[in-house]
Structures are given as structure tokens and as C-alpha cells.
């Protein structure tokens, strides 16, 4: 990449007055979500701190992941004939109260998607329509960071019950007149850490919204955005789209603080006590849920590990952080945690953008703080260089002095302006 360390290459908004108004609204939203700093700080580190922990040797004949308690709301349940639907088909829908989004209309859609084993599953996305409805206006798929294992923590719940601290930010997008889709991108088992699954769920969620007549978004151009864990789902959606969903009119992607290799992160930071170790342990549980025949944490859990596993199996972010605070691998596992077998390596590679061969075709804005000690910005830069070499217009924005926590607040307004210019049909800037 042409971008140098410490040099910011922020996109400019061509409509200065609109940008000023958006920044003011964004500033008000930021003041409402300062509490989110705790949950996103060092997320990239924590999302894989335990992902390799139980991966040594051959898996047992019968793996027994700890799955979440089923959602009591029957709306979320897949019908017996889910396999008869095509990916992105709407299975059922319902209007919901748009609490926290003044003037907006909200719908939830249960749609068909596919899990990592190629089996049909059902997932939920929430679509928010600004005043005036759909009218084929721009559609943004927003992937929040979901650091949880319980189904009650999914965006379709947390958008409206105060659990998602990113939620007020969506009013910035609605104020621009854009429709917003927020998928439950961890899927029906809350498989935290499974980035490739998140990409497929994101793309099928967009398909569902565009196929849902009451939303009136069939002709809408599409943008995607997300930060940290949400950036992982966004990044995989972008990389998968040329083959998985080539028909979607994705005009731009804005992603920030993206952990591009979860295995490397685990090796770098998982061997010492970590205040957010619980998130990493939860990511290992999420990967096990999605790959039950390849991964089996139970083989290497010590009694404290079994207790932590039971404690967080249905937990949301704050509970997971508290339960695993300042633990490390030796506290919960037995044996070597890095003697990974071929199956484990394949799982890691399948969920890491650095090792995934797919390349986005849509223009991409990627932002990172240069002082991010949790998610390596230079490793992400190398991935962006590969995309550039393949012909994708990439704008890499390295924000001087920003860490993983602060970079979202600096980069998000730039990301929204970047998408605005793509919706306007302006040429995509690049510093390849």
C-alpha cells in the first residue's frame, strides 16, 4: 500500500454542509455510546485468545459442543422444510417497534442461509426504514460487534432493549435517508468467532431485505460496514460476494479494526493473563459450535475450564468479560494449546481473511489506528496490498496515534462519508 505509517488518508465528502450536519448528529450519538469502549477495547485480541486452545491432536469420535438455550420466541425457529428455500429467501416476517429510532419503521425477517458445513439454516435480520419508507433508497448492511454466546444477545434483540451500545450510531445512517439492515451474523447457535459464516449470513440477509416487497428496496444500491468483530463479518461478506452473491449491487465497503488472522492473534497474546480472556474463550466455544467434528475443547479443559464453559455458555459480553477476567490458557486448559492438527489449521484459515483466497471486487475503505496494539494494523495493511494487486480499489486510512478503542469514533464518520460518495457514483479513491 502507498499509505505510510502515521499518515491518514481519509476520504472527503463532497457536500460540506451535509458532512457537518452528519458530524453533529454523530457526535451526539457518540456521547450516548461511550460505554461501548469497554466492550470493543482489545476485541481483536480477545476474539481468538482461546480459539486454538483445544485444537491439538485428532478430534474425538463424538464432539459435544455447549450450545445456547433455544430462543423461546418461535419466530426464530427454522421450519422443517428450510432446505426447500433458496439462500436469501424470506421464510417469515413481522413488523416490530422501532424503539430508539425515531420516525423509522422496523421489520424482522427470518431467511434461509447456509452454515459452514453447507447445511441449510435459518437466520434473522432487522431492517430499519427511514421516514418515507424504502423507495429503492441506498441500503447499508451494518454488522455490529457481537461478543456473546447467548441468543438473547443477538442484534435482533439488543437493537431495541439497550444491549447494543452501537445502536444509536444507526440513526446517523437513517438521517442520511438510507435503509439499514442489521443481521444476526453469528447465526442460530451464536457461533461467536466464525467470521466466514458471518459473511454468508450478511450476504443472505441483504438478499432477504431486497426480496421483501414491503421494504421496497429491490433496486437499492448496497453498502456494508462494521468495526472489529463486525468488521470480520463485513470483510468476509466482501470477499465472498463475487462468488457467493455476485448479483448483489455492492457499491462500497467500509470496515475498520479488522482482525485478519485469528490464529496469529492467539499465538501473540493468548499466553499471558488478559483482562478480556473470557471473550477469547467464548470465541473458542463459538468455533466449536460451528465445527463440532473438527474442534473439541472438552478434551483439554481442566475443572476450572469446565466451570468457565458452563458459566458463559448463554452469556452476553459483560458477563463473559467478568467471568474470564485476567485468566490465561494455563488457568483453564491442560497440555499444549498450539499443537494444532490439520483440521484445526483449516478452521483457522477458513475464518481468517489473511489466508482466505477470495478478493473483494467492491471498492473498500479500511481504517485502523496506528497505535492499535490489539489488532495489528500492519498485518491488515498486507491484506489490503493483496487486494490492491488483484485490482480492487482500496483506501487504507491509518489514523495516527489511535488505538483499537478510539479508532472507531474517528473512522466511522469517514466510513459513512465514503459510502455516501459510492452511493453518489463518485470514483472510488485509492492509495494502492
Query: What residue ranges do the domains of the chain occupy?
Result: 16-47+64-261+350-423
**Residue whose C-alpha cell is 486454538:** 52
If residue 27 lies in a helix (H) or strand (E), which one and from where to where? Answer: helix 16-32
Nearest of 29, 13, 55, 5 to residue 288 by alpha carbon: 55
The dihedral over CA atoms of 161, 165, 169, 170, expressed in degrees to the nearest 10, equals -40
Per-residue pLDDT, 335: 66
Q: Which is more confidently placed, 428 or 12?
A: 428
Provide the pLDDT confidence category of residue 31 given band limits of 50, 70 and 90.
very low
Q: Which three cell numbers stand for residue 357?
A: 483466497
Average pLDDT over residues 364-388: 93
pLDDT, tens only, 316-367: 999 999 999 999 888 998 865 555 567 888 888 899 999 999 999 999 999 9
Whether 178 has a pLDDT exceeding 90, the answer reads yes
pLDDT > 70: percent of the chain: 82
Q: What is the chain's mean pLDDT, rounded? A: 86
Whether 308 has a pLDDT exceeding 90, the answer reads yes
Per-residue pLDDT, 85: 98
Going by DSSP bridges, is the β-strand pair 139-143/120-129 parallel, antiparallel, or unpaired?
Answer: unpaired
Q: Can you give 244-282 as a three-state secondary structure string?
A: HCCCCCEEEEEEECCCCCHHHHHHHHCCCCECCHHHHHH
Q: Characterize 240-255 residue by residue with b for buried, 16 or more Cβ atoms within 10 angstroms of its Cβ, and e for exposed.
A: bbbebbeebebbbbbb
pTM: 0.88
Q: Which is more confidently placed, 139 or 274?
A: 139
Q: Would you identify the CATH topology of the domain 16-47+64-261+350-423?
A: Rossmann fold (3.40.50)
Per-residue pLDDT, 64: 78
Q: Which is more confidently placed, 152 or 281?
A: 152
For 414, list phi and psi in degrees, rounded to 5: -65, -40
Per-residue pLDDT, 26: 45
Per-residue pLDDT, 274: 84
Separation CA 257–CA 349 (nearest Å):
19
Q: Is 353 exposed, middle or buried (0-12, 13-18, 19+ CB in 10 A)?
A: buried
Whether 171 has a pLDDT exceeding 90, the answer reads yes
- Beginning with the edge strand found earlier in the chain, give each strand of the sheet holding 250-256 in spatial order: 90-96, 105-114, 120-129, 179-183, 139-143, 222-227, 250-256, 364-369, 394-399
Helix axes 277-290, 317-324, angle to 10 degrees: 120
**Residue whose C-alpha cell is 454466546:** 149
Average pLDDT over residues 369-384: 90
Separation CA 42–CA 405 (nearest Å):
7
If residue 141 lies in a helix (H) or strand (E), which one and from where to where? Answer: strand 139-143
Per-residue pLDDT, 348: 87
- Among 21-35, 75-89, 99-113, 261-275, the minimum mean pLDDT is found in 21-35
Separation CA 187–CA 67 (nearest Å):
12
Per-residue pLDDT, 296: 83
Separation CA 202–CA 417 (nearest Å):
21
Average pLDDT over residues 27-52: 42
pLDDT, tens only, 53-106: 444 444 444 457 899 999 999 999 999 999 999 999 999 999 999 999 999 999
Q: Which is more confidently placed, 9 or 69?
A: 69
Average pLDDT over residues 405-432: 96
Amino acid at each position: 500500500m502507498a499509505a505510510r505509517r502515521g499518515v491518514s488518508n481519509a476520504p472527503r465528502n463532497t457536500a460540506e454542509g451535509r458532512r457537518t450536519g452528519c458530524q453533529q448528529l454523530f457526535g451526539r450519538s457518540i456521547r450516548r455510546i461511550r460505554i461501548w469502549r469497554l466492550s470493543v477495547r482489545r476485541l481483536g485480541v480477545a476474539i481468538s485468545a482461546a480459539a486454538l486452545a483445544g485444537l491439538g491432536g485428532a478430534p474425538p469420535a463424538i464432539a459435544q459442543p455447549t450450545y445456547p438455550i433455544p430462543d423461546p420466541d418461535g419466530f426464530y425457529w427454522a421450519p422443517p422444510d428450510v432446505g426447500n428455500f433458496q439462500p436469501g429467501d424470506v421464510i417469515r416476517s413481522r413488523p416490530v417497534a422501532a424503539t430508539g429510532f425515531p420516525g423509522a419503521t422496523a421489520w424482522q425477517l427470518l431467511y434461509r442461509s447456509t452454515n459452514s458445513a453447507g447445511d441449510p439454516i435459518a437466520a434473522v435480520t432487522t431492517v430499519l426504514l427511514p421516514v418515507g419508507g424504502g423507495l429503492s433508497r441506498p441500503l447499508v448492511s451494518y454488522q455490529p460487534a457481537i461478543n456473546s454466546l447467548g441468543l438473547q444477545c443477538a442484534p435482533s434483540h439488543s437493537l431495541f432493549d439497550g444491549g447494543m451500545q452501537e445502536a444509536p450510531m444507526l440513526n446517523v445512517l437513517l438521517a442520511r435517508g438510507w435503509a439499514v439492515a442489521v443481521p444476526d451474523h453469528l447465526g442460530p447457535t451464536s457461533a461467536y468467532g466464525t467470521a466466514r459464516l458471518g459473511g454468508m449470513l450478511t450476504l443472505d440477509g441483504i438478499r432477504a431485505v431486497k426480496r421483501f416487497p414491503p421494504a421496497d428496496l429491490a433496486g437499492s444500491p448496497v453498502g456494508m460496514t462494521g468495526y472489529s468483530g463486525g468488521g470480520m463479518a463485513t470483510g468476509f461478506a466482501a470477499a465472498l460476494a463475487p462468488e457467493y452473491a455476485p448479483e448483489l449491487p455492492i457499491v462500497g465497503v467500509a470496515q475498520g479494526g479488522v482482525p485478519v488472522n485469528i490464529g496469529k492473534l492467539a499465538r501473540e497474546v493468548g499466553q499471558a493473563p488478559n483482562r478480556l480472556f473470557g471473550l477469547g474463550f467464548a470465541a473458542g466455544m463459538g468455533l466449536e459450535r460451528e465445527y463440532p467434528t473438527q474442534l473439541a475443547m472438552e478434551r483439554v479443559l481442566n475443572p476450572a475450564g469446565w466451570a468457565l464453559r458452563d458459566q458463559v455458555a448463554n452469556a452476553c459480553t459483560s458477563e463473559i468479560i467478568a467471568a474470564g477476567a485476567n485468566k490465561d490458557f494455563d488457568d483453564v486448559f491442560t497440555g499444549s494449546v498450539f499443537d494444532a492438527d490439520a483440521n484445526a489449521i483449516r478452521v483457522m484459515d477458513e475464518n481468517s481473511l489473511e489466508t482466505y483466497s477470495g478478493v473483494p471486487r467492491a471498492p473498500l475503505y479500511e481504517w485502523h489506528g496506528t497505535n492499535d496494539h490489539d489488532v495489528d494494523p500492519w498485518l491488515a495493511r498486507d491484506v489490503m496490498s493483496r487486494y490492491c494487486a488483484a485490482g480492487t480499489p482500496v483506501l487504507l486510512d491509518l489514523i495516527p496515534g489511535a488505538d483499537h478503542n478510539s479508532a472507531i469514533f474517528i473512522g466511522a464518520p469517514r466510513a459513512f462519508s465514503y459510502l455516501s460518495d459510492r452511493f453518489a457514483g463518485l470514483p472510488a479513491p485509492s492509495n494502492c
